[in-house]
Structure 1
Amino acid sequence: MWARDVMTTSVIFATPEMSVLEVARLLVEHSVSAVPVTTADGKLIGIVSEGDLVHRGEIGTGGRRRSWWLEFLASSRELAGEYVKEHAQTVKDLMTVDVVTVNEDTPLSEVASLLERHRIKRVPVLEGGKVTGLVSRADLVRALASSTHDNKQEPVVRADEEIREAILNAMSGQRWALSRGQVIVNEGEVHLWGVILSEEERKAACIAAQGVPGVKQVISHLDYPVVLPSM
């Protein structure tokens, strides 16, 4: 799936000349958590989110408190930026200008990676230099909930060797991947053998196997290394 398949197209926009009060009301009235900021010709120049409006002097949340050593380590640029966020009166002074964007043909896997890597909740979708939609975390969750892919709905009959190859391919390239001899398949029942260093590795191996069509059951024999007592 691509960004165009899940994006919200009814986008509310702000202008750089809007006041902070106006953009706050815009978020509330339209029940959105962020708005792209565009010029008169539709060019994207920034974005304003709820996070930009949390620390404000008007509601007594300005003047962030931090320990003395964090205050000492904070750069003058960082402190000045915080002051601007707390006291700016117009959108052009408040908005985030380094906006992460995607286009309509961006795969959802890449969208998800961008959201995670930049620790953001949504990205504007651009086409021809103009915003055509927004993709948020909620849109990705709705896409998952609407997915019709479910291995349990239509059991797939596959040869055991074919299933094993598919499991090995699913794990390929992962540091926790099991070797061919550690994956045994018997009439669709998968047995995983080997040494793991964490429960996350066990879970990842099991999930990789469970995701292969034709797998009826996954049985883990994975265990931690044996620690010999010191002499």
Structure 2
Amino acid sequence: MLNTKVKDFMQRKLPTITPETEMTVAITELQKFDLIGAPVFNEDKCLVGFISEQELLQPLMQNSYFCEGVVKVKQLMQTDVVTVSSDTNIIELAENMKTNKPKNYPVVDGTKVVGLINRSDILKALFEHYLSCQSHS
């Protein structure tokens, strides 16, 4: 477990959400990939933000009620995003997640988005290791 890295458990297939993506398309993409949030990146796959169900909820409620215009992801996304490297140790990340840190972390190598890891992925990694420990005792 000490050598288990984020890259061993991260999600590699991600929705393509850019700042210009329309809000309803972003929601459809999150649902298609069964995610509560996803990185927002530019045409070079560089991270420019993060969009989650939380940011989408209020404008969707408001626009559903008033049936108003088009909302773009760039109007809603967080731009101060906490990321991890694919070589980050799972235990180290789990320690960070115990506090009020994000539930989702875009995984970046340099400035390029290469995946996403969330609390469920970390739980799975720890659980698999725990079960393997049990079978050896």
TMscore range, shorter length = 0.7 to 0.9
Q: Which has the higher contact order (CA 8 A, sep 6+)?
A: 2
1:55 paired with 2:39, answer no
How far residue 118 of structure 1 moved from its aligned partner, in angstroms, is 4.0
Q: Distance in 1 between matches of 2:39 and 2:18?
A: 8
Q: Does 1:140 align with 2:122?
A: yes
Total equivalences in the alignment: 127
> Residue 117 of structure 1: CA displacement?
3.3
Q: Matches of 2:136 and 2:117 in 1, distance apart? A: 29
Corresponding position of 1:12: 15
The answer as to whether partners of 1:115 and 1:122 remain within 8 angstroms in 2 is no
The TM-score normalised by the length of structure 1 is 0.50
If the length of structure 2 is used for normalisation, what is the TM-score? Answer: 0.82
- Work out which of the residue numbers 96, 103, 123 in structure 2 matches 1:121: 103
Please report how far the alpha carbon of residue 58 of structure 1 lies from its aligned counterpart in structure 2 after TM superposition: 2.5
Aligned partners of 2:96, 2:70: CA distance in 1, in Å?
28
Secondary structure at the counterpart of residue 55 of structure 2: helix
Partner of 2:84: 102
Please tell me the residue identity of whatever aligns with 1:12. P
| 2:18–2:73 contact (8 Å) kept in structure 1 | yes
The residue that corresponds to 1:178 in the other structure is none
Distance 1:6 1:143 in 2: 7
Shift of 1:25: 1.6
Query: How big is each residue's C-alpha offset from its partner over 1:47-72, in whole Å with a ceiling of 9 and x where there is no partner?
Result: 10111112230245xxxxxxxxxxxx
Q: Deviations over 1:109-143 (max 9, x none)?
A: 22123333343211011113211111111101111
1:1-231 matched pairs, under 5 angstroms: 1-56=4-59, 57-60=62-65, 89-147=71-129, 148-150=132-134, 153-154=136-137
| Larger radius of gyration between Structure 1 and Structure 2 | 1
For residues 51 and 132 of structure 1, do their structure 2 counterparts lie closer, same or farther at Cα, with a shift above 3 Å needed? same
Range with bigger deviation, 90-99 or 137-146: 137-146
| Cα distance in 1 between the residues matched to 2:98 and 2:50 | 18
Give the fraction of aligned pairs with identical amino acids, expressed as a percent.
31
Q: CA RMSD in A?
A: 2.0
Paired residues of 1:88 and 1:94 also in contact (CA < 8 A): no
